Amino acid sequence: MVNDVNHQPSPGQRVLSIGPILDNIFSYSTPATILCASRTMRMAHDIARSYLNLAYNVDRFLFAYFSSPDALRALQARTGTLLAGQPVLDFLQRTDMALEDTTSVSPNLVLLVYGAYFFEAARFLVSNGYSTSDALSPLLPREVSQWARHDSVHTISLRIVRQAPVVTLLMSDCMCSMNAIAFNKVFSLYPHAAFEPSHQCSKPKPANMPVSERIEPPGALSRTHHPYRFVGDKHTWMMPIDARSITLPSPASNTSRLSGDAMEWCSWRRPSSEKDAWLANVVYDSSLLRFRYALYDNSLLHAAEQLLARFVIGNPERARAFHDAELIQFLKLCFAKWDLTAGPIPYSMMWPIIKSMSPLPSEQ
């Protein structure tokens, strides 16, 4: 039998097991460091979990901008709206500049919204006390509109997305801008590039330079990441948000209810060299879908089109409904069966999934 003495914590472990000490260390650590430390011993895990719950309090962040975070999340669930911009990065870096500085105008919180839902999003801002410079027609759709409150330094940029919200994020000037808050999760698409010093710019930059300018642009890191990605993969840092009180859009008859955010199953392809365009993808936009979806290439788009075409054939009622839930289920099954680090999904693997999800009468 192994002597129990060998299992006694070392002096260093005993010091680190003191909550206030470890909590102070965490306040200066990157997210990856905190997660690694949480795996060293049970006490560290419990303290890290408590610290992360407090440090990443989404409701506290949202209360600085909106009177009801739940009302905002309900809007996001109905419209596919994402929150982005410098304040989201500040939140993930635990700086929360919008909360600490109440004397100067804070950076814009960006709301990425589909054009079809601009009116609903604008009306929500008005109900929260925001107004825009165009006082005569504040609800008139514009590609970008700036909103502010007379009693707050917080400002909002309402931006209409022409493709899919994730495409707007991926077309940002640098990887550290590729963070967003959906109604049920917080996403960071390239967390190491955004938060870990070893992945950041190697050349010294002024300390007062904004973080978004101190990170290498996407092309400079193009060889360090897998080319084929989807939002919900293992390379994305995701934090769940308690959205149990949120009512998702009611499905039509013969359709399934959405169980999560549409963005999670969007995908893209990063080129193999810096000479190519940063982002390669196609956007699936259909009358059969409530939202638009970024897909990494035409083969995946073709498979998705076949799925929905087979699903509605000979059924006029289904042809008048949205089938986002079915598309998401298809993408979920594909990504579960195939590791994108090996390359794009072979069509021979997608076809059996298509047939099983949408069998034709002759195949039954």
Average pLDDT over residues 89-102: 68
Kindly compute the dihedral angle of the four CA atoms of residues 331, 333, 337, 341, in this order, to the nearest 10 degrees: 20
Cα angle for residues 168, 171, 177 (degrees, 5° grid):
85
Contact between 291 and 325 (Cβ < 8 Å)? no
- Identify the DSSP state of 28: T
Spell out the alpha helix ranges (H) of 27-68.
31-38, 42-55, 58-63
139 or 104, which is more confident: 139
The 10 Å Cβ neighbour count of residue 175 is: 26
Q: Going along the chain, which residue ranges are E strands?
A: 82-84, 109-114, 131-132, 144-148, 155-161, 179-181, 185-188, 228-230, 237-240, 267-269, 282-284, 293-295
Cα angle for residues 233, 285, 293 (degrees, 5° grid):
10
148 or 364, which is more confident: 148
Which of 102, 157, 103 lies closest to 125, judged by CA? 157
Q: Mind listing the pLDDT tens digit for each residue in 307-363?
A: 999 989 888 888 888 999 999 999 999 999 999 988 899 999 999 999 999 888 776
Supply the pTM of this predicted model: 0.80
